[in-house]
Amino acid sequence: MNYFNRVLFALMLLLMIGGGVLAQDTGLTAVAAPDTLGPPAPQPPTNITVTDREDDGGHGLVIRWELSEDDGQGLNNVNMYDILRSSALDGEYMSRGIVPSGTNEFIDEDDQELTGSDPNLNFMPTGSTWYYKLAAISVENVRSVESEVVAGTTESNLFHWGKLPILFGVLIFGGFLLAFISQAKKGRELYVRPLSGINAVDDAIGRATEMGKPILFILGLGTAGDIATIAGFTILARVARRTAEYQTKVLVPVQDPVVLAVAQETVRTAYLEAGRPDQYNPDNVFYVTALQFPYVAAVNGIMLREKPATNFYCGKFYAESLILAETGNIAGSIQISGTDEIGQLPFFVAATDYTLIGEELYAASAYLSREPVQLGTLKAQDYTKAVAMVIVIIGAVLITLGLPFLLNLITVSL
C-alpha cells in the first residue's frame, strides 16, 4: 500500500509539472509567430488613421482602422487587436491597449504629467508626435504581421464642441433672464404661484414669538460654495430679520467654519437692517463639528433641551435628514425643510410639516424678498423649463418615429 501511494504521488507530480509547462506554452504573452506551421495567422487591419482627439487639451489621439479581412469574414479567426505605439518611427513599439474583434477605434490619451522622482513616461504632451501600428491576434493567439506605421500629433483645442448644447442652453436662459429683469425694472407685475412652505415661514416665526421659544435654523452639511447652502443663507437672512423684529432667539449650529463666518455675517446684517444691532448675539451662530453624526448628536441635543418652536432645515442634507426631522417632531416643533438632495426629499416630506422641493429652495429668496428683479429670474426659469418641455416632447415623438437627429443635436459629450 505504501508503494502504491509513492507511485501515485510520483504520477501526480509528473502531471503537475507537465501541466505547468503546457500552461506556460498557451499563455497570452507567448504568442506564436505568424509563419509557423500551426493555426493560420489573421490578416492585419488596414487603412489606419491617427487624428487628434477633439475637445481636449492636446493629450490624446484617436486611432481608427478598417477591420482585418479575417474579422467576421474570411478565416473569421480574429480575437482582438493590439495597438502599438512609439515616440519615434524606428523606436521601440509598446502595446497601448487591446480591443476586441469588431472594434475599429481606440482612444490613446494620457494627461497626467507626473514630475519629480516618478515621471509618467506615457504622458502625451501637447504638440507631440506618436507613431502607431496595429496587429490582429487570432483566437489561437497567433499574431498577424504588423500593419503600416501611421503618425499623429496631439493638438490643444480652444473650444469644447461637445459642450455646445450647454452653451446654447445657458444663452437661452441668459436671454430670458435679461428680458424679464428688464421688464421687472420697468415695473411690470410678475405673477408667481404661491408656495405653502414659503407662506408658512412668517407663521412659524410668529409661533415661536408667542411661545417664547427659540427658532433653530440648520444649514445642513454643505459647504459655503454649495448652491443649496447659499439658498439657505437667503432664507436665514429673512428669518433672522423677522426674529430681530419680534425679539425671538434664532440658533444656528453649523458644521463648516466658512459657513459659520457667512452665517454670522448674514444674521448680523439682518439685525442691522431690522434696526436692532444690539440684539445680535454672535454666540447664537456657532460651530459644532465637521463630522456628520456628531453634528446630528449635538443638534438633537439642542432640540430636546431647548424645545425650539420652529426648526428650519435649508441646505444640503444626507443620511442625517430623517434623524434630525424625527427628533424635531418628537420635540413638538413646527418644521420647514428644503433641500436639493433628491434622495432626502422623501424623508423630509414624511417627517416635516412643509418641504421646499429642489428648485423651490432656490426660489425662496425671490419669494421672500418679492423684489421685481428676483421675481424676473423666476420667470426666466419657468420659460426655460417650458422650452425644455417642448424639446422633450418633440424629441420623444421623433425618437418614436425613428428620427434621432434632435437627440444627436442636444447630446452633450463631456
**Residues in 240-259 at the binding interface with other proteins, rule: CB under 8 A:** 256-258
Sign of CA dihedral 28, 34, 36, 39: positive
Per DSSP, what are the bridge partners of residue 84? 95, 133
In this structure, what C-alpha cell is assigned to residue 48? 489606419
Q: How far is the CB of 265 from other proteins (least distance, A)?
A: 4
Binding flag, residue 370, other proteins (CB under 8 A): no
Scanning 87-226, the segments in alpha helix (DSSP H) are 164-185, 196-211
Among 32, 200, 388, 398, which residue interacts with other proteins (rule: CB under 8 A)?
A: 388
Asked if 49 and 64 touch (Cβ cutoff 8 Å), the reply is yes
Report 253-292 residues binding other proteins (CB under 8 A): 256-258, 260-262, 265-266, 268-269, 272-273, 283, 286-292
Q: What is the CA radius of gyration of the chain?
A: 33
Asked if 311 and 218 touch (Cβ cutoff 8 Å), the reply is yes
Using CA atoms, how far apart are residues 213 and 309, in angstroms rounded to an integer? 6
Q: How far is the CB of 221 from other proteins (least distance, A)?
A: 14
Q: How far is the CB of 132 from other proteins (least distance, A)?
A: 23
Binding flag, residue 293, other proteins (CB under 8 A): yes
Report 111-150 residues binding other proteins (CB under 8 A): 126
Say which DSSP state 226 is in.
S
Report 187-216 residues binding other proteins (CB under 8 A): none
In this structure, are strands 94-100 and 150-153 parallel, antiparallel, or unpaired? Answer: unpaired
Piece of the chain touching other proteins by CB under 8 A; list 4-12, 23-31, 136-144, 362-370? 362-370
Piece of the chain touching other proteins by CB under 8 A; list 32-40, 146-154, 357-365, 396-404? 357-365
Q: What one-letter code names the amino acid at 390?
A: V
Binding flag, residue 347, other proteins (CB under 8 A): yes
Cβ neighbours of residue 64 closer than 8 Å, sequence gap 6 or more: 48, 49, 51, 104, 105
Per DSSP, what are the bridge partners of residue 217? 312
Among 64, 143, 163, 249, which residue interacts with other proteins (rule: CB under 8 A)?
A: 163
Cβ neighbours of residue 194 closer than 8 Å, sequence gap 6 or more: none
Among 159, 203, 210, 332, which residue interacts with other proteins (rule: CB under 8 A)?
A: 159
Q: How far is the CB of 307 from other proteins (least distance, A)?
A: 12
Among 63, 135, 177, 218, which residue interacts with other proteins (rule: CB under 8 A)?
A: 177
Piece of the chain touching other proteins by CB under 8 A; list 15-23, 66-74, 84-92, 375-383? 375-383
